[in-house]
Amino acid sequence: MIPPSAGRVIFEGELGVVIGQTCKNITPEQAEDAIFGYTCINDFTSIDILHADPSFPQWTRAKSFDGFGVAGPVIETDLDWRDLTIQVLVNDRERQFYPAADMILSPTQIASCLSKDMTLHAGDLIACGTSLGARPVKAGMTVDVLIEGIGRVGVTMTAPQT
C-alpha cells in the first residue's frame, strides 16, 4: 500500500545477500564464506520522505512502509552472483534490466564494509542497491523483480484505505 504520507514512491529491483554466519570486521575474501545465498528484493522508496530534510535523509522511514522491501521467493545457495541479471517488470512491461556483475561493489565488498561497523548475523539480509531505471510507482501498479536462477517476487501497490 502507498500511504498518503509517503508521497512519491519509486520501485527498485535489487539482488539480496543473505548472511549465513555471525561475522565482524571481515575481509571480502572472508565474506565469501559468510554469505549463505542470494534472493530477490522488490524494494520501494518514498522520495518525498527521503528528501524532506536535506540535512538528515530519512532512509529507514522512506523504505519501511508496509509492502516495501519484499524479499523472496527463495534463498538460492548454488549460483555465482556474477552470472545474474536483475529484471523489473511494471505491469508486465520491462523497466529495469541490468547484470549484477555491473554493481559498483560486489556482495563480498558490501558485506565486508558493513561488518566494519556492525556485527552481521545469520539470516541478515543486505540489499545491494539498484541500477538505472528506477521510476515512480502508483496505486494499482504491479511490480515484479525477476532474477533467473532465483525466481520472481511481485508486489501490487494499492491505494490507502479510507
User: What is the total residue count of the chain?
Assistant: 162
Mind listing the domains of the chain with CATH numbers? 4-156 (3.90.850.10)
Q: With CA atoms as reference, report the closest residue to 6 among 145, 139, 141.
A: 139
Q: What cell does 125 get? A: 539480509
pTM for the complete prediction? 0.93
High-pLDDT (> 70) share of the chain, %: 99
- pLDDT computed for residue 160 by the predictor: 75
Mean pLDDT of all residues in the chain?
A: 95
Distance CA 21, CA 36 (A): 8
- β-pairing, 93-99 vs 35-46, is unpaired
